[in-house]
Structures are given as structure tokens and as C-alpha cells.
Amino acid sequence: LAWGMAAAASTHTATGYPTQAEVHGSAASWVAPDLKTKELGYATPCPSCGVRMVIPLDPVLNVQCFQCDSVWVPPHVSQPDNVALREPIHRVKARTHSLDSFKNAVNFVIHANTGTSKVKIVNKIGSVPKGTHRDFALALQRGLKQIRLTGESVVRWNRGTVRETVQAVEPDLFAQVRSHCGVSEREYNASLELPPESHRTHFTVVGAGEASGKSPSFFLLSPDQKFILKTCTVGDYKCLLRILRPYVNHLGTHRDTWISKFFGLYTVKIGARHASFLAMNNFFAGQYAIHEKYDLKGSTYRREASARELRKKSPVYKDLDWMRSGHRWEFKGSREQAMETLKQDVRFLAQQGIIDYSLLVGVHKRAAQTDPSWHEPAPHPIRSLVLRQVTEKTMIYFGIVDILTPYSTRKKLEKFYQHSLRRRSGGMNDASCTDPQSYAKRFFEFIEKYSVDHLPTSPGTFTCAYHWVVVQ
């Protein structure tokens, strides 16, 4: 607002625009420049019907009201009283608050639900954010909208006495990721931005205590549950920037990759508090209820759900639990193609020096009595965010997650310690922490052995085709 007033006042002599005092002396009031057209203007009511409208600062002799069609002289144009109204007439569309709000809300809903299907209600997670979680969620959503409108990668504003800053890191590279995955900018923004005329975040939050991992991170989820925004550590931040270009190239070359998709990296500062958020896809945003969840690393050393984990409403099981469950994949089509995709993914991660990644698996069990309309969802023509494999008895959602742990000096010491303990106890050398090449080999062999049914494949083609899933 102040910028618009100062800019117009400074150009009054050269352009004939009104000064700040002249405008405030009339019924008009200054508004900030239109962020889409970059044009200055001011809002003023129609003398006949009172509808407020935005008048451009370009010198205009006459204005015609959009609603009542009355013709009148704008406050910033000086004309002798004996000069009749004449052309040109600038017809201005009335800009009422209720009309704009309604149109914005309708467009927002249309964009958010384009080409989508519903997420099963039991798959929705998270609670209403409070305190620090709410502050960061609201600042992030406001910042994302301003970044889109201004085209800048860093936006700042004051909320009361607190300075807030949001930065989009490497926006061009992440735009390539979204393009590779068929995620349109319109749908991405509609899912993550603050809804029109809203002053309250619509994200949900999963705190560190509710998550299955050991990380202190918390997670924000978009209302359609398609996207997860995870707080990342300094190590995660640096690792992602180091592998980002090869990662983008890998996604562009291997379109059926199982690796999780990173759609954006953002830093948020609220006064002295700061956090970094990584936007990624939600593998469990599916149309069928997920009855069991597994986190598979390919290791059997202490890899079973703890008593504390089992007490949770939706526990996450591990490798030993998977082996005992008897679950197997029966790929509908080329098992070799599926394993080749997995092999390319683990090879890429090994080349980048990454370890500790997991195969996240969600299992929906079919009950003939309760699933009479069981069918494989038709893939959306645009690649989406959910990988799934269908058999006669189960639907399995899956994807490789946690790919930002480098084989650092700390991990090398952890490997030495774990392997020493295993040798002393006479156990197998299958400790979770190991070098990238060994980790990739063990991970691939475990998935191949325990996760793929070795029965002859049925007719058809293996598909990792995605389908959109959005709540309505």
C-alpha cells in the first residue's frame, strides 16, 4: 500500500496522476498495484449506485459504471464544468468483495479437484495444528501464494511486530520434478496455498510422537492428502541440494521410478524461529483402506515392531514382521520389468552415496463380503502420486522413502559398532547400517525374495501408473 502511494505521488508531475493528498481529499482510496498486471490503481465508489470499483491511473476522461451504466468523471481528472461528457469512455468492471470471493472460491475448488478421485476416509491422517505447528503452516501457505503472485523466490512481510520470511529453494529444478511427474502448477498451488479469503490454515499435522520413525520431524499434510510437507534437518537439506540435479535427471529418464517425489523445498522464518519444509507425495493417499503398513530396509537385525509401536492405532511393521506375514506380490505382467525399475533406483541411490532408505508398503486386504465392487482403478492419463499393485486378494501401495541419509563418517562408525556386536554374538552380518553398495544389494535381494511371488505372471502389463487422489 505504501509503495503504491509513494510511486504514484513521485510521478504526479510527469503523468498527471493524483497526489496522495488529492486522492484522500476525494472519496477514493489507494490500493496496491495489481500483482498480475503491475498497474497502479485506486478504489472508489460509483456516484450513482455506490458500487466500489478499481480505477486505473492512466488518464481517463470519463468512466462508465459496470453495474448501473452511469457515466461520470473520475476524481483524478480535472475538467471545466461547462465541458460535456465525451469519449473516450472507460468501462470499468465493478469489483465487489463478495463477487471476487465467490469466483476465487469456485476456481480454487475446481483447480483442486481436477482429474481427481477420493481418498479413503480411514487413510486420512493428522490433526488440527496448534501453537508452533499452526504458525509455521499459516506462514508457509501465505508465502507460497505470494511467491506465485510476485514471481519472486523470497517474500517477506510483517505480522504485527513479527517479521516472517518464506523462501523457495531451487524453484526451477523442482518445477522440472513436478513436470516429470505430471503435476500441474495449478493443482499444486491449489493444494498447498491458503484458500481465498481464509485466515486459518487448512493443513493437518502429524507430530514426531505420532510418526513411526526416530526423527524429531513433524509433518504437514495438504487437505487433499496428496502432499506431505516434512520438516527436514540441516543434513537432509544439504544432502538434497547435493543430489538434486542427478535426482531430477533420474526422474526424467526413469518415469516408473519407485523413489519418492520431491516437489519443493521451502525455508520459513518467523522472528527467531525457522524451519525447512520438503514437499513430497503421499504414497498412502489411496482409494482403498490400508489395513497394514510396513517399513522394509532389507535387514533382519532388530527389525520388528516394538511393543510401543504395536500399541498405536495404526502401527508400522518391519522386515521380520513382513516375513512372518506371508505377504507376496504377484505382479500382473512383467516381473522382470518391475525388478529392473527397482534395480535402477537402488543403483542411483548407491551412486549418490545414500543409505538407510526404506520401501514403504501399505496393504489393503480384500474381503469378498465387503468388497463386492473390487477392481483395479483405471490409471489417470496423467502420471500421479500413488504407486499400487493389484492381485486377487490384496492391493499394495508402495514407494521408496527416506533417501536423504548419506554414508557419512558417523554412519561409518555406526557400521563398525553394529558389525562388531554381531560378530561377538555369533550372529549374521546383517546389521542395518552398511556401505551404499552393500545396502543397495541387500535391499534389492530382500525385496526380490520376499516381496515378489515367483508364480508365473498373468497376462497384462506391469504398471506403476499413478492416479490422482483428492478429498472433496
Query: Across the chain, what does the average pLDDT equal?
Result: 74
pLDDT at residue 202 tops 60: yes
| pLDDT tens per residue, range 32-43 | 444 434 444 556
Whats the size of the chain, residue-wise? 472
- Asked if residues 338 and 398 have their Cβ atoms less than 8 Å apart, the reply is no
- Asked if residues 259 and 151 have their Cβ atoms less than 8 Å apart, the reply is no
- Phi and psi at 392, nearest 5°, equal -70, -30
- Segment 146-160 shows an average pLDDT of 93
Can you give the pLDDT at residue 357?
96
Can you give the pLDDT at residue 120?
63
- 265 vs 338, which has greater pLDDT? 265
- 335 vs 156, which has greater pLDDT? 156
- Segment 213-228 shows an average pLDDT of 81
- 385 vs 210, which has greater pLDDT? 385
Residue 34 exposed, middle or buried by CB count within 10 Å (0-12, 13-18, 19+): middle
- Asked if residues 303 and 319 have their Cβ atoms less than 8 Å apart, the reply is yes
CA torsion through residues 444, 446, 449, 453, sign: negative
* Angle, CA of 185, 188 and 189, to the nearest 5°: 85
Residue 459 exposed, middle or buried by CB count within 10 Å (0-12, 13-18, 19+): exposed
CA-CA distance, 366 to 394, in Å (whole number)?
A: 6
Can you give the pLDDT at residue 332?
58
Can you give the pLDDT at residue 255?
87
Cα radius of gyration rounded to whole Å, the chain: 28
- Segment 226-243 shows an average pLDDT of 95
- Segment 431-443 shows an average pLDDT of 88
pTM: 0.69
| pLDDT tens per residue, range 23-82 | 333 444 444 444 434 444 556 777 777 666 666 655 445 666 655 667 766 665 544 444
Closest among 337, 336, 335, 398 to 363, alpha carbons compared: 398
Count of helices and strands (H, E) across the chain: 13, 20
| pLDDT tens per residue, range 298-307 | 988 889 999 9
- Asked if residues 435 and 355 have their Cβ atoms less than 8 Å apart, the reply is yes
- 290 vs 6, which has greater pLDDT? 290
DSSP 172: H
